[in-house]
Chain A
Amino acid sequence: MPGHRTKGFCAAAAALVLSAVLAGCGGSGESAGGGKVVLRYTWWGNPDRAARTEQAVALFEKQHPNVRVQTSFSGYDAYKQKLAIQATGGDAPDVMQLDYRQIDQYASGHVLLDLGKVKGDLRTAEIDPGLLATGRVDGTQYAVPQGRGTETVVYDVKAWKASGVVLPRKGWTWSQWADAVRALVKKTGRPGATDPGQSEDAFEVWLRGQGKALYTNSGGLGFTADDLARWWTFTDRLRREGAVSPAEQTTQLDGSVENTPLGRGKATADFNWDAPSSGYLALVKGGVALAPMPSGEDGTPGQYFKPSMFLGIGAHTGHRKEAAALIDFLLNDRQAAKILGATRGIPVNETIREQTASQLKDFDKTVADFQSSLEGSLKDPPQAPPSGDNALQTTFQRDYDQVSYERMSPRRAAENYVTEAKAELRS
């Protein structure tokens, strides 16, 4: 009998039992709060945003000694899953950060509190009315935008300048953009930009440039198969010419800047949202600059200021007053604004935006300058997209994959998409 082995085994087993007991104990430490109101506040982001949020929340707790805020965060994709399951289980947090695409679903699913009920505790007067309206569903305000962003053509400054191609400028059109990427591939030998055909966001900008919209006000499809077929024919031709990234590159997009053609050094420009573009700085040796999105042929701007995120209150919260106070603090408190900076997008409170603009540094300043260069020239944002859009965003990419891998004509893929979209929006 191998005695020593058995002993070792027993020791290991004992250690495990002990840890299990401890685990059991750890689980029961729930009732901490000490008579205080405990608010659960969840959001998505990265560690930097977490550090700044913690600081702001600590300040709020100091000002409201009767409230304890329990924060929790995850990355975007994980957050969306977690929140959906919590909400379904009737366990939505008191204060939650929401995405544009979630508003409609969460509001119509009775997860969010009608903010009209907490008007006195939550001031929204200093938010641009057009922007504020994006948090409204069927006339009721369910969420308040917390920051704003807009799309941009982000490009490798050094490479673009060296190519001698005319730099992107305000008011340029889609056909000027197409000429530019064609010229870029000739001069630099690599595609001018990421193929925008896969991006529902880019398509929306193109569509708005023609005075149309992704969705009608009643939540139906705002465009026809013809529109989409024209867009995909446009991008497909550029792809075949090599002016935009090939399918093998485009398919690797996963939301991170690292996997974009620009980030991998395989293209000169990319489409992205303004704030996340800071990620390119570490990847593109020649530095990056932000340019406006191309507009329609008659100069109609397609891009708009989009709320980068919203804040909402759980419908079943027991502390709506405190929850509203927290949101009010995060949006309107000057000290909070100072701490948060532009970590959640450029602030929506206009007074605060002006006051903090001068304090912004580095890429935050680049973004703020970019936005102020567009100020006043853009149209109002559309209302929050219908909940079916969550699925359609992926469907859009999938159907365009069929085009870029040359398995379907743009026309047939567009018709497929419209059929799928109509079914999705009906249910």
Chain B
Amino acid sequence: MTTTATPADAPTTVARKPVRWGRVAVHLGCLAALLVMLYPLAWLLATSLKPADEVIASLNLLPSHLEWSNYKTALDGVNGVSVWRLLGNSLLIAGGAVVGNVISCSLAAYAFARLRFRFRGPMFAFMIATIMLPHHAVLIPQYIIFNKLGMVNTYWPLILPKFLATEAFFVFLMVQFMRGLPRELEEAARIDGCGPFRSFFQVILPLTRPALITTAIFTFIWTWNDFFTQLIYLFDPDKFTLTLALRSFVDASSQSAFGPMFAMSVIALLPIVLFFLAFQRFLVEGMASSGLKG
């Protein structure tokens, strides 16, 4: 454990002590772990190229021959809706959700972490409690509300809740991060005459960027994969998403097309992989690299 305890961003004078072997061991360990972890992904990828009779029945990793027609079928789209349309819809929903969550959750988190107001204790407790109720129990009341608002079969039920900070997970996450910031930062800002709004935007937000990025990444991926909400609120095939279309290949009552389903999964995976790759690098910057100016 001693080797792993060294922070990489610690000043080089300290970290440059010769621990080469330790580093090599860490790399080897990680690679070995990855080999095991990525095996099912390799399986997924390989299966998307298997002919129909090997998709489930065959227990070999590699297909006997590459069945590109799975991808061709998947790229044709579903129910007359092209795969690009589905992709666009997925992007709109996930993108809207990211913006909504980042804005609304950081606002609420700042109030909970740094400001004083009446009923803060009970409201904080209520917010935590909303994470605890299984969402299946509130599904129907929520559906009725959105139906009354005339929002069924639009994207609003999928995006609007994110702008209203209903995902307490992220509020709580940001509260934890903001509480980790030294109080003196704002004290200094306040003495300079900053109100709560300026100190939120200029002091707190930049410093919680790792949490904001984390929120963005998780929101994007989780919204993208959220089959159930999309299923119940979207009616028009034109409005369907990749995640919904994926399931159209599997119908227990007739014949399923598992090969194209796997191909579609791989296609649906690409945008979230790209999103993760694009944003994960921002995770590296935190206070440690941008430094404290206070």
Contacts and interface: CB of A to CB of B under 8 A. Distances in A.
Interface of A: 1-2, 5, 8-9, 12, 15-17, 19-20, 22-24, 26-28, 30, 40, 42, 44-51, 54, 70-78, 81-82, 85-86, 88-91, 93, 254-259, 263-265, 275-276, 278-279, 282-283, 285, 308, 343
Interface in B29-70: 52-53, 55-57
Contacts of B254: 45-46, 48-49, 275-276, 343
B249 interface: yes
A71 B250 CA distance: 18
Given A91-B147, A256-B252, A258-B57, A74 B92 contact: no
B98 interface: yes
Nearest to B151: A27
A26 B236 CA distance: 12
Contacts of B99: 16-17, 19-20
B57 A278 contact: no
A276 B255 contact: yes
Interface residues of B, number: 59
Nearest to B152: A91
B139 A85 contact: yes
Contacts of B154: 27-28, 30
Contacts of A77: 252
B290 interface: yes
Interface of B: 52-53, 55-57, 73, 78-80, 89, 91-93, 95-96, 98-100, 139-140, 143-144, 147, 151-156, 159, 216, 227-228, 231-232, 235-237, 239, 244, 247-258, 278-279, 281-282, 285, 289-290
A74 B256 contact: no
19 contacts: A2-B285, A16-B95, A20-B92, A20-B159, A22-B92, A23-B93, A27-B159, A40-B235, A45-B254, A46-B248, A47-B248, A47-B257, A50-B79, A51-B79, A75-B247, A76-B251, A85-B139, A91-B152, A264-B56
B53 A282 contact: yes
B286 to A, nearest CB: 12
A23 B248 contact: no
Given A47-B78, A78-B227, A308-B253, 17 more contacts: A5-B282, A16-B98, A16-B216, A26-B239, A27-B151, A45-B254, A47-B79, A50-B79, A74-B248, A77-B252, A78-B247, A82-B231, A89-B152, A256-B250, A256-B258, A257-B256, A283-B57
A265 B92 CA distance: 44
B285 A263 contact: no
Contact of B252 (A81, A255, A264, A278): A255
B159 A23 contact: yes
A275 B251 CA distance: 13
A81 B251 contact: no
Contacts of A93: 235
A121 B147 CA distance: 30
Main SS class of interface, B = helix
Contacts of A1: 290
Contact of A26 (B80, B100, B155): B155
A12 B289 contact: no
A332 to B, nearest CB: 23
A258 B290 contact: no
Contacts of A44: 251, 253
- Of residues A22, A51, A78, which shows the largest number of chain B Cβ atoms within 10 Å of its Cβ? A78
Given A70-B236, A81-B231, A283-B53, A27 B91 contact: no
A45 B256 contact: no
Given A23-B95, A50-B79, A263-B57, A72 B235 contact: yes
Contacts of B244: 74
A61 B56 CA distance: 40
Contacts of B144: 88-90
B56 A258 contact: yes
Nearest 6 CB-CB pairs, A to B?
A: A255-B252, A19-B95, A23-B92, A258-B56, A27-B154, A20-B96
B255 A78 contact: no
A26 B235 contact: no
A56 to B, nearest CB: 13
Contacts of B147: 89-91
Contacts of A70: 235-236
Nearest to A50: B79
